[in-house]
Each structure stands twice: as C-alpha cells, then as structure tokens.
Structure 1
C-alpha cells in the first residue's frame, strides 16, 4: 500500500518492539493499560502523511506497555525501547537528554509520559519522534516547564512567539504535547502542540500567524471541507502545532492544524467523504486514502465512528501536506452517533496486536 518492498522487515520489527507486552497479548483479553493513544485503549494508531510534493510516509504512534504497567513502569519500558532503537537506528539523543528530567517526573500526572511515533518511508530506515507530556507536573506547571525546555534547546524566543499567537484565551488554550525528532537531519524538529477548547476557525487562524507566509484562509477552507464548518468545535479540541527546525529560531517554520474529525461526524462514511472533499481541493489522490482504510479494516464505514480519528493540515516553508490518522479498533468499534453512544466490543478477535 505504501510502497514498501515485501522483504523489508524493519517496520514489523520496530512495531513489535514498540508495543512491548501489549503486542503479545491476545485481543480476546482486555487491554493491559488504558492507553490514551486510541479511544478503545489500543496503544497504537496509524497515519498516512501525503505531501503536496508527492512524498508519502506511514507513521505509527505508540505507547510501550510492559507486562505490569503503571506510571513508573511505563516510563521504564519507554526508555528501554528508546535505548534499543537508538542502537538499531543510530538515533541522536542529545536533545532528549537535555529535557528528560523536566518531563519524566517521579510521580507523573496526566494520561501519559512518553509516546513515540515511528516514521516509515520506502527506501529509508525508520525515523523516530518522541512525545513528552507538558502536563506531567500538573496544568499550572506546564508553561514554565515548556519555556525551560525550549530554552535548553536553544529556542529562547520560541515560547513568547507561540504564547502571543496561541495562548490567548486563558484556560481554553493549553499545552498538550512537546515533541522531538531524534535525528540530525536538516529538518529535524522541536514541535510544540496546543489544544484549543471550543475554538472556531478564527482561533486557529490567529494561532497560525506565528508562522510567516501561512495563508489563514487555507485553514478556514480545510475546516469547512473536512470539519463540516468553521466551528466552534465543542467536542475534542482543535490542536495547533509549531515546528522549530533551527537552533535560535524565534519563529516556527511550519504550522499544523489537527481536527479530531471523529467528534464531528455521525460515522466514518461521512468522515471519509469530508476528508475526500479536502483531498479533492488539495489535489491529493483519493485512492491512497481508501487503500489505507482497507489495510486497517474490512467493516462498512457507516457501521462505526472513530476509525478516521484525526485529519491534519500542515503549512509552511518546510512542506505542505495532509495527514489522516486511523485507529486500528483492535479492542472496540464505537457505534455511529444516533444509534448507540458506547463502544461495541469486537468479541471475535483472536489475533495479537
């Protein structure tokens, strides 16, 4: 589907190691840990990134889950995975080590401490991105935590730039992720994510002003087509992210907007139609989305909601594109709105993750 040769075993090996004990657990048994990666506690989510340049990537977001999970044990499992991947993939960890003491608290708060995204491109070794939780020491501590992390990474002016554009509505705008690319490439990023509760298009248009050259009308059009309107979006929040790729940069090079589409459609059939409306406007191939969906599920799209979990638009001087995020629905399928509001257990599944 994504152009990987049949004899390329790297993606499977990395996925197995990422999932840890959860990947060896039969799906007939309940989840080991209530992972927040997916709505049904599956600790993995797939995504397909399509760039306007024609480049493609498959990404796997995951949380390592050990045999006896818990806040401290999960951090230990995540660091073990990172150590193995650093050796296997020749990763660069100096930025991780520069901020790990800030985010890896002894008594972590929030829904996670460390997540990873594995980025797969045909003909290249896997790349890795790590996500920290800015709320790990509590909501009130998050601004100072993020500001110090950016300072340590040589981005002293970045916090004020982002705050003036995206933190304008008090508690309605909050930090949600702090991420690092673990490589030495010219576009290796420090990424900062901010959630916007009950936001409308104007909120994210203002947030995008932090990035030079971004057309705010592109965001309004994206929300109109993929989200069914300009808001306010009162379910799961819209999320802004900023990518800094140069040490000392005062302004980010890219802006991305994430739409949790599953909260704003009755079922995945409608979600697909709205995403394809954006694809058509952006000149992206519908067949690639359908191949990705077919690789994840065989169910009728009208029979559930949440398979298509998010869709994002990326804008800026380091690349423009769209990413669609797909839940594996390994443990449950959420019923369409208007029929039932609770998750439907799969029941017949016998495979492992």
Structure 2
C-alpha cells in the first residue's frame, strides 16, 4: 500500500504497490487475471511487500540488478495472445543464509493447497537441494505463468552445496527423474571440454509443478565468455534445432561475440526416457550488449519481426512497466530468449521492475550484425 502522507511530504510507495501497479497494467496487455496475479505476488513478497521503496531492498535479491525480487516476462507465441510470467523470490528472513529454502517452501506449500500443484517430481529430488549450509545467492525461485489457471515452476540452485558439487548433484537429480541418458549426452558433447564451474556452469534446475504432458524438466547452463561456436555446440544437442537460427539470434541481439559481459544461457528440456533433450532455449542478457534501452528495444523489435511476431506488441508491454525515456537507462529490457521445441516455441522478452534504481546507459557497444 501507499504510506499515508504527512502534510508537505510526498507519499512513499511500497514495494508491493509498485510491483502490483506494473502487474495490473501488464495484465491488461496479456489478458491475465489482475486480482489473482496481485494476490500471488503479495503472498510471495510477504513482510517485504509493505516496505517503502526509499528504505531500499530488504535483501539483495539476485533476480534483478537493483535487487528487486520480481522480474516480469512476456512470452510471444504464434496464433495466440502473449503470456505474462513472473519470476520472484520469497522474502529472505535470514540475510546470512540467502540460499535457505524455508520461505520459498512455505509459499510453495500454501499454493499447493490452493491450486492443487503436483510436487511428486520435486519431492524426489528436494533432499539434494537441501543442506544445513546452503551456498550461493538463492535457494529456490518461483515462476508464475499467469494463464486462466496459473501454472507454477520452481528454479533450484544446482550450486547450493558449492560449485564443485553441482555436476554430481545435477547428475543424481536427473537420474532420479529418468533423464540421465539425455543429460549424459549434453554433458559429453554439448558443453565445452574441461571442468564444469569455469566456462560452463549449471545455473538453474527447474521443474514444472503440474502433471500435464507438457510438464518440463529443465537445466540452464551459463556459458561464460562464449563465442558463437560454443553456442552452436550447445544447441546442436537437441534434435531438430537449427544452430544457424540460434547463432543468428545471438548475433542480432548482442553482436558477433565473444560474449564477455553477462553470459549467454542455454537451457535444455528433458523428458524421462529420452536419450537427447527434447527442447532448447537460448537467453541473451541484452542489457550487457547495448548502450541503452532504446537500442535494446530496436534490436528486440527486429528479432520479433524476423521470427514472425508483430513488433508492435512490444510497446504496450514496456509502457506497462515504465514511462521513463528509454535512452535514460539500460536494463529495463534485461533478457530476450528464443524458445525452440515443445511445448510453445517463440520469443520471450524479460522486463525489469526497476523498483529501486535504473542502471545508467553504457558506453557505446559493438553494434549487432
């Protein structure tokens, strides 16, 4: 809510009010239910929600550069309306243990009762991601896909027991879920040779919490200092993926590489029993490779047009989040991704809430080609 004003002073906006206002406008663009969406976000933010923005972040969430614990995204599909998604982190109670799962699991248990989520696969691997000494900047994040009936997804931290243990942890988790053969193929031929944790790092292990045929197991790999050949190598592991399409997407979004800013991320969709991944997405942290958000907007519009989407759909989504001039910051448009394979191929644009600050424009970047 907005704090009551004292005469002569401007009212102070809280985190939950700021985010909910943006969310309500995004719901108008995408057709999502604003009431349900606002309730979910308020529940996630918990005691951090009423905190005034001028007090700063309650904890340094790694979801956004300014530590806002919420990020929006709009997924564009062919032949259907865009879908609104939210990535959010449940309020961290103990700042000395940001990777602790307590708050995240409490939110998940509440939503499991309300929305009848399916947690069987999560239950089979959760002990691997649970430790008395969690490491890293997060333990579990939540993705809310705001369709008529909301869908839920969890992101777990593969490095929660340390970088050195991430490979064994992921291998064991995928083995329990029946996806060991596909992961073995990726591990041997999709990633760069050498020890994991240096060039390539397992960043997220994600599970859909529903029992439809489209429910996914996903593994995200950050490819530090990658070039286009490295990206093509990763994408080539998925049958039917045109590596030229993937590398052209990266080139148009972020230039020819190598990508020495924030890393390109490759994600694999696994299915139990399959010997290769069944889907692939590439995520480009476009804010690291542009001068400002005006340049990012122009590049994303070009990508949307190239991949068969109306570029005019981008404007209303951006306007729902901010009214500031785009050349005054770099980071509103945080990522852009290309989704290939089932269940819904397309392009997704990630929008920062910028609740606490706007990142300044950057020096002139190498132009995309």
Same fold by TM-score greater than 0.5: yes
8 Å CA contact 1:165–1:208 kept in 2: the answer is no
String of CA shifts for 1:188-243, please: whole Å, max 9, x gaps.
0000011111111111111111111111111122122222x221110010000001
1:317 to 1:120, Cα distance in 2 relative to 1, 3 A: closer
Q: CA RMSD in A?
A: 1.7
Alpha-carbon separation, structure 1, partners of 2:92 and 2:160: 20
Q: Would the aligned equivalents of 1:198 and 1:233 in 2 still touch at CA under 8 Å?
A: yes
Number of equivalenced pairs: 334
Q: Which runs of 5+ in 1 are unaligned?
A: 340-353
Which structure exhibits the higher relative contact order, with contacts defined as CA atoms closer than 8 Å and separated by 6 or more residues?
1
Counterpart position of 2:227: 200
Seen in structure 2, the aligned counterparts of structure 1 residues 100 and 175 have a Cα distance that, compared at 3 Å, is: same
How far apart are the structure 2 equivalents of 1:43 and 1:237?
Answer: 20
* 2:320 aligned residue (274, 295, 309): 295
Task: For 2:104 and 2:78, locate their aligned partners in 1 and report how far apart those are by CA, in whole Å.
Answer: 33
Once residues 147 and 232 of structure 1 are traced to their aligned partners in structure 2, the CA distance between those partners, rounded to angstroms, is 29
Matched, 1:118 2:140: no
State the Cα distance separating 1:48 from its structure 2 match.
0.3
Residue ranges of structure 2 left out of the alignment (5+ in a row) = 1-27, 365-369
**Scaled by the length of structure 1, what TM-score is found?**
0.91
Contact 1:135 1:176 in 2 (8 A): yes
* 1:349 corresponding residue in structure 2: none
Structure 1 residues 201 and 86: CA distance shift in structure 2, 3 A? same
What residue in structure 1 maps to residue 338 of structure 2?
313
For 1:241 and 1:53, the matched residues in 2 are separated by: 24
Residues 49-72 of structure 1, C-alpha deviations (whole Å, 9 max, x = no match): 012343521110000014554427
Alignment of 1:115-264 (within 5 A): 115-121=141-147, 124-170=148-194, 171-227=198-254, 229-244=255-270, 246-264=271-289
Q: Following the alignment from structure 1 to structure 2, what is the Cα–Cα distance between the partners of residues 109 and 74?
A: 9
Secondary structure of the residue aligned to 2:305 is helix
Provide the TM-score with structure 2 as the length reference. Answer: 0.87
